[in-house]
Structure 1
Amino acid sequence: MTVSIYATANGNQQEVVSSGIPANQITDFAKVYAIAKGYYVESVTDEKLMKGAINGMLTNLDPHSDYLDEEDFKQLSEMTSGSFAGLGMEVSKEKTSNGVKVVAPIFGTPAYKAGIQSGDIVMKIDGQPTSSMSLDEAVKKMRGKEGTKVNLTVARTGELKPLSFTITRAKISVKSVQSTILDKNYGYVRITNFQSDTTGELVKALNGLYAQNHNLKGLLVDLRDDPGGILQSAVGVSSAFLPADKLVVYTDGRLASSKEKYYAKPEDYNVTGNEKEELNSLNPIFKTLPMVVLVNQGTASASEIVSGALQDYKRAKIVGVKTFGKGSVQTVIPLSDTSAVKLTTALYYTPNGRSIQADGIHPDIIIQSEYSDIVDSWDVSEASYDNHLDNPNQKDKPSKAAESVPVIRPAKQVSSESEIKARRDAKIKSLPKVVKQSEAQVDLENDFQLEWALNILEGKPIPKTPVK
């Protein structure tokens, strides 16, 4: 699993908890607690009741606020460091859903290799229905010891019967940056998520590309299915391509502590302590090299921060399809040494003041994929959550119709889920048995979006009719 934007509380807890609780509501809570304790069909512990009450309080607010016990907090730390045991996918839980929705499987992980797809609904885990589980409970059941197996029963749009996947859990060490050379003179970088070391890994990848070819003509950054991660890492990645001291993103919330501005300068992107030295070592060609950023409906959170900043400054063309639309910031506020609250405390805005919340980044050029007809029916977006926060830019006035943008369409659409599975199986089988984690695996012949993103970078004309 991966997390969205992560931050650590900075001693402002008192701002949050200073409000009193109405006496009548405390009385109702105490009555319900006593009834559940005394009359429930089975004996129930105080700890279970209290944890459930806290979870309900937070998850009712929005899809990303949550209570973290000792195990949850440990898992959060592991995921942001890029090393954890499990299946390797981001999931969410909706009130109206009978299961757990898959936001995106992480490339190369057991979930990805098994054929799990964005939009899948996990109905059962080892035969136990997920409809009665909290998101935390479902995640814990999917995680486990490395090498053990878990069976997922999955509902998928277009499939008449549930699908069954038996997946072996693995220790997942995700390399967040992969790179290669395309078409001899064009660099390609894929960022799978934003970890504590992502900025440094990006610098290594970019300098490595230049070392391979001093005549680079452009750079393609692939952020498809990147679910996000650490806010400061998104600022660091943006800083690699923007002039020093440019505003990258700002946050705004109800409290003064939630109002922050993040610039392309070391103190704002420092995570490991090495970022200043690492970015100083980046070849300056990457400040001006022509760029295209490829996004899709699985591009979320920190990856939307990068896309939005580069788009606002016209530093890169954003191509693909509209992104996920997670424009909120979560702060981890410790309750004790072993527990914490992960609470949505602000929304973030691009340098030009755009909120991406429940709206997403709209590409400069739309490139549909061969799977667009099927993927569109999955409705994988922040706006699909039952209790998502509204976009503040659209509260008082209806959103204006988007300007007409070019659309590149493939002439042939993949027409069935079985064909998607067959293509993915063939792609996985074609991968070399041994490959450097930092080396990106690309398939221009069978990846329509990537092929046309490169064509745009190369300056080829945009077709007016579907492309065969």
Structure 2
Amino acid sequence: MLHLRRFAQPSTLALAVMLGLHGSAWAQEPPADTEPTSIEAQDPARKAPLPLDELRTFVEVLDRIKAAYVEPVDDKTLLENAIKGMLSNLDPHSAYLEPEAFADLQESTSGEFGGLGIEVGIEDGFIKVVSPIDDTPASKAGIEAGDLIVKIDGKPTKGMSMMDAVNLMRGKPGTDISLSLVREGGKPFDVKLTRAVIKVNSVKSQMLEPGYGYLRVTQFQMNTGEEVGKALAALRKNNGNKLNGLVLDLRNNPGGVLQAAVEVSDHFLTKGLIVYTKGRIANSELRFNADPADASEGVPLVVLINGGSASASEIVAGALQDQKRGVVMGTDSFGKGSVQTVLPLNNDRALKLTTALYFTPKGRSIQAQGIEPDIEVARAKLTREQAAEGIREADLAGHLGNGNGGPDRPSSTQIVSDSERPQDDDFQLGQALNLLKGLNLTRGQ
């Protein structure tokens, strides 16, 4: 009999199986004083008698395959395939984890793994890119969220399981792989990548302009909450201990550790609910509330999301939106609002089973809907207008000076910044910065 204490292993909120990152996301263990409670005790329906007719059919099919299949198949293979079939037909995120996949899952929150750096799912029988991870072979090759992987090294992916696709794409760092992609219904194109050891720094920060900070979270790892706290402190320190505005970038963030999402949200909230989960078993119902501390010190906030923002990143965006702590900008998020529980089995195997849905503070389920931004801003390509050839008033001989004593600004002395400004090439980020400036103007700052 399986008991709750064992059933309630850490939960996962990652979107799907990543290359080398198999749906990582550990939550917290049940309290130490929780009495073990059988699943049957929590769910009386589990006491129903065994379906004998269906079990007889299962045994008959097993015998027929062993006796008549063109090649011999051992019992272990048949039974493991049956288990995989049971899980694969539940939902895209439930899975039977064999030893290697289970080991990858347990190691995945360390922030270092092998592969291409792609979070993937399944759509219409094809492998779909949910999001590429920053600074990985996938992102450097220009792979984008929403791309369909139609071939892997020339092998069609139509009808291929996600685990099989992941196994094909994984390999020794330094080896090459070719992916055939389709983008937005266009013609297929090939991308050649070199596998690498992926080291993910989950938090990046910098100043966009004096007074305005930028904080990017690429995924939610075990230490992401702590790193966000340090980044906020560093941004304030580098700007005279005060920020006029902050952009929190969650675009193409596939999710990760539930507890990290709660901690990041809590850095911006001083009270109220952050997220809660609801499921059939008692331990699947959790509530997380903010504490009074405010690492962000109330800084005006814009949260960027897009179709690659999933799971834990949707928890953060939903909490800040419901609590009216910041303005959510961008495009609709992915819509992965289910919680997976990992049930260790014998022989180093495990089940990853969907056990609950999570809800924003106002009771919204994100599942299959996602977070809608307060202000929709689609991605756009920026082209720079060439500086007009010609002269300005300050270039004319004998021109009048500025009546207030301001310096002349002839065309030959235009101010050009040679520092890298991410907002110059990122339309959505530029719009977020403009919104923050507008908020400060309306507040009289």
Shorter-chain TM-score range:
0.7 to 0.9
Q: 1:211 to 1:179 in 2, by over 3 A?
A: same
CA deviations on 1:140-182 (whole Å, 9 max, x unpaired) are 121111112222222333433x322221111111000000001
Q: Any conservation in 2 of the 1:83–1:174 contact (CA below 8 Å)?
A: yes
Superposed displacement of residue 9, structure 1:
7.1
Distance 2:105 2:72 in 1: 31
* 2:438 aligned partner: 459
What SS does structure 2 have at the residue aligned with 1:352?
coil
- In structure 2, the partner of 1:82 is 111
CA contact (8 A) 1:9 1:333 kept: no
Is it true that 1:450 corresponds to 2:423 in the alignment? no
8 A Cα contact 2:359 2:366, kept in partner: yes
Cα deviation code 1:229-280 (max 9, x no counterpart): 0111100101111115x32111011222211111225xxxxxxxxxxxxx97
CA distance in 2, matches of 1:442, 1:254: 49
Tell me the equivalent position of 1:389.
none
Contact 1:8-1:331 at 8 Å conserved across structures: no
Deviation at 1:118, TM superposition (A): 1.6
In structure 2, the partner of 1:66 is 95
Do the aligned partners of residues 285 and 139 (structure 1) sit closer, same or farther apart at CA in structure 2, a change above 3 Å counting? closer
Native 8 Å contact 1:153 1:163 kept in 2: yes
| Paired residue type of 2:283 | S
Residues 227 and 13 (structure 1), Cα distance of their counterparts in 2 relative to 1, 3 Å cut: farther
| 3-state SS of 1:137 partner | helix
Is structure 2 residue 255 aligned with structure 1 residue 228? Answer: yes
**TM-score with structure 1 length normalisation?**
0.75
> RMSD of the TM alignment (CA)?
2.5
Q: State the distance in 2 between where 1:5 and 1:177 align.
A: 17
- Residue 229 of structure 2 aligns with an amino acid whose one-letter code is V
Counterpart residue number, 1:102: 129
The aligned counterpart of 2:388 is: none
CA contact (8 A) 2:308 2:333 kept: yes
Q: Following TM superposition, by how much is the alpha carbon of 1:349 offset from its aligned partner in structure 2, in angstroms?
A: 0.7
Instruction: Specify the code of the residue in structure 2 equivalent to 1:330.
Output: Q
TM-aligned CA deviation for residue 8 of structure 1: 6.9
Uncovered stretches (5+) of structure 2, i.e. residues with no partner: 1-17, 31-35, 385-419
Amino acid of the residue matched to residue 295 of structure 1?
A: I
The residue type paired with residue 205 of structure 2 is S
Task: State which of 61, 67, 88 in structure 2 corresponds to 1:32.
Answer: 61
Moved more, 109-118 or 222-231: 109-118
Q: In structure 2, how many angstroms separate the alpha carbons of the residues matched to 1:21 and 1:83?
A: 44
Cross-structure match for 1:194 = 220
The answer to whether structure 1 residue 177 and structure 2 residue 203 are counterparts is yes
Q: Could you list the runs of 5+ residues in structure 1 that have no partner in the other structure?
A: 266-278, 372-409, 413-440, 463-468
Partner of 1:248: 274
* 1:323 CA displacement: 0.9
Question: What is the TM-score of this pair, normalised by structure 2?
Answer: 0.79
Partner residue, 1:415: none
- CA, structure 1 residues 146+13, in 2 after alignment: closer, same or farther (shift >3 Å)? farther
3-state SS of 1:329 partner: strand
Q: In the aligned structure 1, how far is the partner of 2:110 from the partner of 2:368?
A: 27
Counterparts of 1:285 and 1:156, CA distance in 2:
40
Whole-angstrom distance in 1 between the partners of 2:328 and 2:311? 16
Who is 1:48 aligned against? 77
Q: Which residue of 1 aligns with 2:393?
A: none
Q: 1:299 aligns with which of 309, 315, 321?
A: 309
Counterpart in the other structure of 1:124: 151
C-alpha distance 91-176 of structure 1, shift in aligned 2 (>3 A)? same
Whole-Å Cα distance in 2 between the matches of residues 461 and 9 of structure 1? 43
Distance 2:139 2:38 in 1: 39
Amino acid at match of 1:185: G
The answer as to whether partners of 2:25 and 2:221 remain within 8 angstroms in 1 is no
1:7 and 1:331 in contact (8 A); partners too? no
Instruction: Rate the CA distance shift 1:20–1:261 in 2: closer, same or farther, 3 A.
Output: farther
Q: Figure out how many residues of one structure are paired with residues of the other and give that number.
A: 376
- The answer for the alignment partner of 1:391 in structure 2 is none
Identity %: 49
Alpha-carbon distance between aligned partners in 2 of 1:7 and 1:20, rounded to the nearest angstrom: 34
SS in structure 2 at match of 1:141: helix
Q: Does 1:133 align with 2:168?
A: no
Kindly provide the CA deviation profile for residues 33-61 of structure 1, in whole angstroms up to 9, marking residues without a partner as x.
Answer: 22233333333333332222112211211
Give the equivalent residue in structure 1 for 2:192: 166
Q: What SS is found at the alignment partner of 1:458?
A: helix
Contact 1:6 1:330 in 2 (8 A): no
Q: Name the CA distance, whole Å, in 1 between partners of 2:438 and 2:50.
A: 61
Is 1:356 the equivalent of 2:366? yes
The structure with the largest alpha-carbon Rg is 2
Q: Structure 2 residue aligned with 1:218, among 226, 230, 245?
A: 245
Distance 1:234 1:460, change over 3 A: closer
Contact residue 145 and residue 307 of structure 2 kept, 8 A: no
| Structure 1 Cα separation of the partners of residues 71 and 183 of structure 2 | 35
Looking at structure 2, the residues matched to 93 and 52 of structure 1 have their Cα atoms a distance apart, in angstroms, of: 20
Distance 1:8 1:185, change over 3 A: closer
1:256-295 superposed matches below 5 A: 256-265=282-291, 284=294, 286-295=296-305
Match of 2:266 in 1: 239
Secondary structure of 2:296 counterpart: helix
After TM superposition, give the deviation of residue 287 of structure 1 in Å. Answer: 3.3
- For 1:18 and 1:84, how far apart are their aligned partners in 2? 42
What does 1:369-408 correspond to in 2, within 5 Å?
369-370=379-380
Q: 1:285 to 1:46 in 2, by over 3 A?
A: closer
Between the aligned partners of 1:154 and 1:35, the Cα distance in structure 2 is 40
Counterpart code for 2:431 = W
- Write the distance in 1 (CA, Å) between the matches of 2:332 and 2:203: 22
Which residue of 147, 171, 174 corresponds with 1:144? 171
Greater mean alpha carbon deviation, residues 51-60 or residues 61-70: 51-60
**Cα gap change, 1:315 to 1:132, in 2 (>3 Å):** closer
Distance change >3 Å, CA 72–CA 56, structure 1 → 2: same
Measured after TM superposition, the shift of residue 6 of structure 1 is 4.0
Query: Amino acid of the residue matched to residue 103 of structure 2?
Result: K
Moved more, 184-193 or 38-47: 38-47
Tell me by how many angstroms 1:411 deviates: 11
Q: Deviations over 1:392-412 (max 9, x none)?
A: xxxxxxxxxxxxxxxxxx999
Could you tell me how far apart the structure 2 residues matched to 1:344 and 1:299 are?
A: 20
